[in-house]
């Protein structure tokens, strides 16, 4: 038993350790078996029966998962059922059987290979990860061609184990997770947006993926440690290392319990000022996880995923399904749906988007939507239809001038009239707001705010454009400074302008998730902080241990300083003197 340490990509935090349970990969037979021309009809019928059987199985699995883990996890099977209805996929498989006079097993394997190649060539990680869903469905059909399905059966004695797999198919992961005996997951393949990773995260099962050849190094029964927080996997550790991880696990579990406790506490400062932690999410199924971390609404739904998730353009129904699911799951709390922020470097697989020399300054976000009005109308119609519960708001990304708001309003009114003519219900008073993430918009926020119902400040882009620092370029990351006086002056101006006009204002960039910068925002008068849900308890903990009056005084003083470093140091010093516990939990993360 050799001791091995491997680094991977931690996609679900926490530590799990125990005996390895190896999940066998599902291979699609690559062996070509020819059939006589007279048997082709038979073979096509055999395929059809297997597809029908697969549909029955998927519907059954969906019901089971819903029963065990709740509605929000059954979505995987909706995606799989959609794949089963993909005519071009099955036309290709039938064509292979007909033209090559080959068995259906081989035709399925050919289709799988072709789709893997197509998906591998896609730059977007979320979209690329969908390839395992296609394999999953094809493997299930192949299993149904044979008399005995090869799917794992629920074992009798339910020993708790660590699941190790080359590439755990999402439906298998969902099934195994319902059995409740998975301590952690480690995989050779995978990315953070694979369905397996998403499921593991929302069920709090530690997971590390992208371990390349782990499955070649382990065998059933080996002892394994999976550290999903640091993205590490240790095989057969000596006693001392095992102990080290046991104590790390105990600390993490305690910390997690503490976080969960904080999530349930009231969102008020020490002197009783109410604030609202909101969640930034990218997938509809993240809503319940967000609320479990203490979110009091969805402050930002990045709707791009709807486009990145499928091979063809999403229909109005696709949009509507996602938005109404979020609106219902979050009801009565508010949901801010941001219209797509695509274009530039985030290209759409379904559309040929011209490569631009300077994508961050190009046809991005609202510019893209106004350029592609047919797509934009589809999205607006779906958002309106999902607004019947009156908790939906529309957020426009990357606005730079008033004319853009005017154009959107015009289109929005047209779409509303169209829906009214069709007697479709929607919230006629649905609030419309803009993101302030370009310095130009910040500077004219006094003008913009009069034309909209609310404002949300996207500090990630605002810093990028204000300081001329590419937010994803590590060479200049040292210049990406949230505490730069210029950034703070702009943000203060926007917040105070909105408050003066009595309009709702939120921050949905990373600055809302960092205890120090969030304190500055609190001092500026902000009360709505939207962030990745896992950071909500940390912010709540910090805010609950400070007095608003102190924060306001310190922030006022900091705004007279000249550099980011001076500002940061002053805030830490002054706040800690008065409230020594303010950053305790924050330092752990």
Q: What are the phi and psi torsion angles at 42 (to 5°)?
A: -60, -45
Rank residues 278 and 382 by Cβ distance to ligand PEP and give the closer one.
278
Structure tokens at 229: 């927080």
Structure tokens at 92: 């290709």
Q: What character string, x for contact with Mg ion (CB under 5 A) and - otherwise, covers 187-206?
A: --------------------
With contact defined as beta carbons under 8 Å apart, do 509 and 586 qualify?
A: no
Position among 297, 458, 482, 523 found at the interface with Mg ion (CB under 5 A): 458
Beta carbons within 10 angstroms of residue 148's beta carbon:
6
Rank residues 128 and 302 by Cβ distance to ligand PEP and give the closer one.
302
Q: How far apart are CA 452 and CA 92, in angstroms?
A: 50
The sheet with strand 161-165 has its strands ordered as 4-7, 232-235, 223-227, 15-23, 161-165, 182-187, 207-209, 9-12
Contact partner, 105, from ligand PEP, Mg ion, none, Cβ < 5-8 Å per class? none
Interface with ligand PEP includes 434 (CB under 6 A)?
no
Position among 129, 459, 517, 550 found at the interface with ligand PEP (CB under 6 A): 459
Contact partner, 400, from Mg ion, ligand PEP, none, Cβ < 5-8 Å per class? none
Piece of the chain touching ligand PEP by CB under 6 A; list 25-33, 146-154, 178-186, 457-465: 457-465
Burial class (CB in 10 A: 0-12, 13-18, 19+), 553: middle
Rank residues 269 and 459 by Cβ distance to Mg ion and give the closer one.
459
Least distance between Mg ion and beta carbon 302 (Å): 9
Least distance between Mg ion and beta carbon 338 (Å): 9
Q: How far apart are CA 60 and CA 48, in angstroms?
A: 18
Q: What character string, x for contact with Mg ion (CB under 5 A) and - otherwise, covers 348-387?
A: ----------------------------------------
Least distance between ligand PEP and beta carbon 437 (Å): 5
Position among 10, 228, 458, 515 found at the interface with ligand PEP (CB under 6 A): 458
Least distance between ligand PEP and beta carbon 68 (Å): 33
Structure tokens at 391: 């908790």
Site for ligand PEP in 499-528 (CB under 6 A): 508-509
Position among 43, 461, 510, 568 found at the interface with Mg ion (CB under 5 A): 461
Contact partner, 509, from Mg ion, ligand PEP, none, Cβ < 5-8 Å per class? ligand PEP
Rank residues 192 and 460 by Cβ distance to ligand PEP and give the closer one.
460
The three-state secondary structure class of 589 is: coil
Rank residues 10 and 397 by Cβ distance to ligand PEP and give the closer one.
397
Rank residues 90 and 529 by Cβ distance to ligand PEP and give the closer one.
529
With contact defined as beta carbons under 8 Å apart, do 109 and 97 qualify?
A: no
Rank residues 209 and 281 by Cβ distance to ligand PEP and give the closer one.
281
Q: What are the phi and psi torsion angles at 455 (to 5°)?
A: -135, 140
Rank residues 324 and 456 by Cβ distance to Mg ion and give the closer one.
456
Least distance between Mg ion and beta carbon 469 (Å): 14
Please list, in sequence order, all residues whose beta carbon lies within 8 angstroms of the beta carbon of residue 432, skipping any fewer than 6 positions away. Answer: 393, 394, 396, 408, 409, 412, 452, 453
Catalytic residues: 195, 508
| Residue labelled with tokens 């300083």 | 561
Angle at 357 between CA 351 and CA 360, to 5 degrees: 80
Contact partner, 226, from ligand PEP, Mg ion, none, Cβ < 5-8 Å per class? none
Beta carbons within 10 angstroms of residue 498's beta carbon:
26
For Mg ion (CB under 5 A), the number of binding residues is 3
For ligand PEP (CB under 6 A), the number of binding residues is 10
Rank residues 301 and 426 by Cβ distance to ligand PEP and give the closer one.
301
Piece of the chain touching Mg ion by CB under 5 A; list 219-227, 302-310, 430-438, 535-543: 430-438
SS (H, E, C) 62-78: HHHHHHHHCHHHCHHHH
Local structure of residue 102 (DSSP, 8 states): B
Least distance between Mg ion and beta carbon 435 (Å): 6
Q: What character string, x for contact with ligand PEP (CB under 6 A) and - otherwise, covers 9-48?
A: ----------------------------------------
> DSSP of 427-445, one letter per residue?
-TT--EEEEE-SHHHHHTH
Contact partner, 537, from ligand PEP, Mg ion, none, Cβ < 5-8 Å per class? none
Least distance between ligand PEP and beta carbon 209 (Å): 23
Q: How far apart are CA 211 and CA 231, in angstroms?
A: 9
Beta carbons within 10 angstroms of residue 70's beta carbon:
12
Q: How far apart are CA 82 and CA 345, in angstroms?
A: 28
Torsion-angle region of residue 391: left (phi > 0), alpha (psi -120 to 50) or beta? alpha
Site for ligand PEP in 282-341 (CB under 6 A): 300, 302, 341
Piece of the chain touching ligand PEP by CB under 6 A; list 201-209, 368-376, 452-460, 555-563: 452-460
Rank residues 124 and 136 by Cβ distance to Mg ion and give the closer one.
124
The residue count of the chain comes to 589
Rank residues 227 and 461 by Cβ distance to Mg ion and give the closer one.
461
Contact partner, 296, from Mg ion, ligand PEP, none, Cβ < 5-8 Å per class? none
Position among 112, 124, 437, 504 found at the interface with ligand PEP (CB under 6 A): 437
Interface with ligand PEP includes 460 (CB under 6 A)?
yes
Cα 18 to the chain's mean position, in Å?
29
Q: How far apart are CA 322 and CA 329, in angstroms?
A: 11
Instruction: Assess whether the previous peptide bond of 332 is cis (omega < 30° from 0).
Output: yes
Q: What are the phi and psi torsion angles at 537 (to 5°)?
A: -60, -35
Beta strands in 489-562 (DSSP E): 504-507, 528-531
Contact partner, 131, from ligand PEP, Mg ion, none, Cβ < 5-8 Å per class? none
Least distance between ligand PEP and beta carbon 512 (Å): 9
Piece of the chain touching Mg ion by CB under 5 A; list 224-232, 414-422, 441-449, 455-463: 455-463
Structure tokens at 175: 């099934």
Q: Are strands 432-436 and 4-7 parallel, antiparallel or unpaired?
A: unpaired
With contact defined as beta carbons under 8 Å apart, do 242 and 50 qualify?
A: no
Q: Tell me which residues touch ligand PEP (CB under 6 A).
A: 300, 302, 341, 437, 458-461, 508-509
Q: Tell me which residues touch Mg ion (CB under 5 A).
A: 437, 458, 461
């Amino acid at each position: 038993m050799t001791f091995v340490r491997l680094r991977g990509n931690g996609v679900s935090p926490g530590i799990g350790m125990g005996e390895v349970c190896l999940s066998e990969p599902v291979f699609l037979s690559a062996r070509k078996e020819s059939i006589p021309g007279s048997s082709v009809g038979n073979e096509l019928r055999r395929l059809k029966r297997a597809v029908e059987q697969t549909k029955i199985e998927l519907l059954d699995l969906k019901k089971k998962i819903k029963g065990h883990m709740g509605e929000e996890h059954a979505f995987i099977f909706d995606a799989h059922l959609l794949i089963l209805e993909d005519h071009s996929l099955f036309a290709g498989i039938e064509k292979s059987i007909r033209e090559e006079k080959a068995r259906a097993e081989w035709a399925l394997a050919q289709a799988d290979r072709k789709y893997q190649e197509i998906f591998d060539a896609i730059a977007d990680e979320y979209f690329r990860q969908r390839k395992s869903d296609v394999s999953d469905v094809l493997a299930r059909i192949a299993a149904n061609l044979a008399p005995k399905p090869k799917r794992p059966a629920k074992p009798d004695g339910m020993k708790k184990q660590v699941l190790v797999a080359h590439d755990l198919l999402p439906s298998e992961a969902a099934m195994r997770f319902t059995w409740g005996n998975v301590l952690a997951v480690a995989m050779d393949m995978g990315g953070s947006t694979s369905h397996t990773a998403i499921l593991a995260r929302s069920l709090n099962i530690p997971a590390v993926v992208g371990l390349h050849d782990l499955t070649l190094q382990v065998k059933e029964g080996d002892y394994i440690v999976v550290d999903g927080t640091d993205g590490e996997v240790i095989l057969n550790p000596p006693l001392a290392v095992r102990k080290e991880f046991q104590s790390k696990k105990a600390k993490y579990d305690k910390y997690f319990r503490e976080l969960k406790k904080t999530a349930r506490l009231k969102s008020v400062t020490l002197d009783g000022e109410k604030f609202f932690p909101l969640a930034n999410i990218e997938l509809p199924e993240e809503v319940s996880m967000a609320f479990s971390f203490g979110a009091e609404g969805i402050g930002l739904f990045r709707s791009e995923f709807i486009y990145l998730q499928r091979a063809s353009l999403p229909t109005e129904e696709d949009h509507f399904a996602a938005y109404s699911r979020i609106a219902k799951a979050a009801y009565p709390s508010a949901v801010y749906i941001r219209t797509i922020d695509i274009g530039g470097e985030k290209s759409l697989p379904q559309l040929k988007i011209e490569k631009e020399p300077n994508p961050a300054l190009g046809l991005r976000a609202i510019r893209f939507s106004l350029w592609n009005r047919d797509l934009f109308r589809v999205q607006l119609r779906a958002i309106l239809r999902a607004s019947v519960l009156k908790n939906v708001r529309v957020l426009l990304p990357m606005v730079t001038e008033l004319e853009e708001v005017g154009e959107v309003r015009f289109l929005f009114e047209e779409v509303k009239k169209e829906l009214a003519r069709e007697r479709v219900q929607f919230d006629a008073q649905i609030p419309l707001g803009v993101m302030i993430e370009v310095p130009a918009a910040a500077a004219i926020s006094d003008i913009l705010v009069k034309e909209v119902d609310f404002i949300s400040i996207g500090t990630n882009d605002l810093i990028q454009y204000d300081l001329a620092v590419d937010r994803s370029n590590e060479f200049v990351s040292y210049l990406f400074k949230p505490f730069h006086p210029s950034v703070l002056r702009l943000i203060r101006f926007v917040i105070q302008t909105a408050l003066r006009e009595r309009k709702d204002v939120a921050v949905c960039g990373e600055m809302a998730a960092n205890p120090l910068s969030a304190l500055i925002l609190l001092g500026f008068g902000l009360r709505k902080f939207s962030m990745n849900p896992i950071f909500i308890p940390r912010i709540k903990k910090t805010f609950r241990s400070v007095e608003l009056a102190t924060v306001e005084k310190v922030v006022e003083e900091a705004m007279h300083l000249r550099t980011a470093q001076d500002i940061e140091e002053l805030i830490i010093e002054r706040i800690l003197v008065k409230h020594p516990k303010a950053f305790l939990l924050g330092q752990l993360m």
